Structure 1
């Protein structure tokens, strides 16, 4: 009799325990996570897209959200390990080996392509090559066309801390693309006459460019689109040989490869928040749409959240296609 009672008690305990834990498996309709964490790898466009996603996730689906800042390497590792749930801008070819390894291992997955019409590389203000008649600027280097040509112009792009040598602004040290620029320095022989200057942040690059542009001085450095910078300033991307996969892998001595910028999620996210997963699977913009928001941020000294709200009000036809009608209605009410 005692054994029978013990068996019944044990079975009842198991049933109660299973019932209490059912919500965490997603079977009862309850959320298996309460807070969705997005990555901030340090540039304005990812912050804008984070804010758009957060607005929809919080107001349309009822989840809390938070942002985890860090370098590209740290945030991608966070996505692999589950400390980050959602990554709104993975520049796939900038971290190609890691991206392919992580997706092959199933650590995270691409759910959509945010945009794929971007460019990146070494830019100069267009007046450096063509001049600017309205501003009274004569062409400073009319024969400058390619990245390799830069080594002929150390005096024009003089390093203020190292007279006689030029300065090229790289990406910040925490960005994966900085290593690519390092290798291009060696491949094109830029280090013969030019210094590879690594700024501390994106803001430092922008300040340097703005100061030079406003003064009509020569400037050369890494940048990319879509950004408010490339929308605001007339810049020319210096040429490189046409992209070739083998050459790129060996020396980086070509133009940057086509770079899908994707939305990725941790491997468990589909089960943790399936309705948000579906929303992110529909997320798609373009460089032009992204630059709208970035230009608004720059011209109005606005935060990413403020730019997201403005952009969503201006582009209701775009984002409402990503979500069901009832979700869109909730978000539109929140934007009023």
Structure 2
């Protein structure tokens, strides 16, 4: 998702603020705000709830999945990742859990996330024979590379996203280069979104990585291609998620389980009420999607979306917090 993968250097190197907590709340806390819409919204909700409800001193830092979770495991910072796509970085996450460097909180999105390679619905409708990735790779002419006439393009996410690593590895696994394709580095979440919007406006072919839930797939109808092979969990862990692995093999994408991740030093010092919140807070896809569409239509920030969510969904979030915290949060809106 934006596993938003350009703020990588910031995420790895500059996590400020203390993770020491006081008995009443959590003291200073760093929350990673990933560079894609759902995670931006979720982290903004966490900021308001922890800051207003539990008197935390919240410092938001820009993050991307790979560098941020790696930093959390290796350095104990940031304190909280609101949307941790653990399937995209399984080895590092498991090491962090085994070594008690991180703890896993509640599911961020109850239904999880769906990742994969997508094509526009109008292309799928015009070419019903294209149902799988191998089917699409037979037709580079339908997914033209803007910089290399005669070649096909597979649009990838920015560096730092787990999906970017996965796509690069699957490109090798399917031997897509021999079919006349090239990976296009879009450079940012906005670049990836823009490539889809541009293709749709011109009714051109497009093939690349994306995920759901997102407001963009609510606006532009896209079809997820089947992998042509089943999910191979062992292969996914061995090579698809490891950028340096030289011999990836085709595998389907597993459904992405998204969890709140908490650095162990922070978890050990935060109050029970704060940890109960992080162990309880979970969003429904429909609730997120509605707010994200509103954010897109109104060019709103994650903080704007968080305030809207907290005003409209009091029946949801008040179940995550103590009654006293709920009253303080309501008063702040």
TM-score interval, smaller chain: 0.7 to 0.9
The residue aligned with 2:35 is 42
Instruction: Find the partner of 1:227 among 200, 203, 214.
Output: 214
Structure 2 alignment gaps of length 5 or more: 1-19, 240-247
Distance 1:267 1:226 in 2: 29
Distance 1:266 1:93 in 2: 18
Displacement of 1:142 after TM fit? 2.9
Render the CA deviation track for 1:137-156: whole Å, top value 9, x for unaligned. Answer: xx2x3311111122211112
In the TM superposition, 1:8-23 aligns within 5 A as none
Contact 1:117 1:286 in 2 (8 A): no
Question: After the TM superposition, which of the residue ranges 184-193 and 200-209 deviates more from structure 2?
Answer: 184-193
Instruction: Find the partner of 1:179 among 165, 168, 171.
Output: 165
Instruction: Confirm whether residue 267 of structure 1 aligns to residue 253 of structure 2.
Output: no
Render the CA deviation track for 1:299-328: whole Å, top value 9, x for unaligned. Answer: 111111001111122211111110111111
Q: Structure 1 residues 77 and 124 mapped into 2: Cα distance closer, same or farther (>3 Å)?
A: same
Render the CA deviation track for 1:200-221: whole Å, top value 9, x for unaligned. Answer: 1010011111111122111111
The residue aligned with 2:134 is 148
Distance 1:259 1:246 in 2: 15
Q: Structure 1 residues 179 and 276 mapped into 2: Cα distance closer, same or farther (>3 Å)?
A: same
Displacement of 1:252 after TM fit? 5.0
| Root-mean-square deviation (Å) | 1.7
Instruction: Find the partner of 2:47 among 47, 50, 54.
Output: 54
Give the paired residue count: 300
Instruction: Confirm whether residue 84 of structure 1 aligns to residue 72 of structure 2.
Output: no
Instruction: Confirm whether residue 112 of structure 1 aligns to residue 106 of structure 2.
Output: yes
Q: Structure 1 residues 230 and 315 mapped into 2: Cα distance closer, same or farther (>3 Å)?
A: same
Q: Secondary structure at the match of 1:155?
A: helix
Larger radius of gyration: 1
Displacement of 1:70 after TM fit? 3.3
Q: In proportion to residue count, which structure has more helix?
A: 1
In the TM superposition, 1:59-70 aligns within 5 A as 59-70=52-63
Displacement of 1:298 after TM fit? 0.4
Q: Secondary structure at the match of 1:271?
A: helix
Displacement of 1:247 after TM fit? 4.2
Contact 2:120 2:221 in 1 (8 A): yes
Distance 1:73 1:185 in 2: 19
Instruction: Find the partner of 1:257 among 243, 254, 257.
Output: 254
Distance 2:119 2:256 in 1: 21
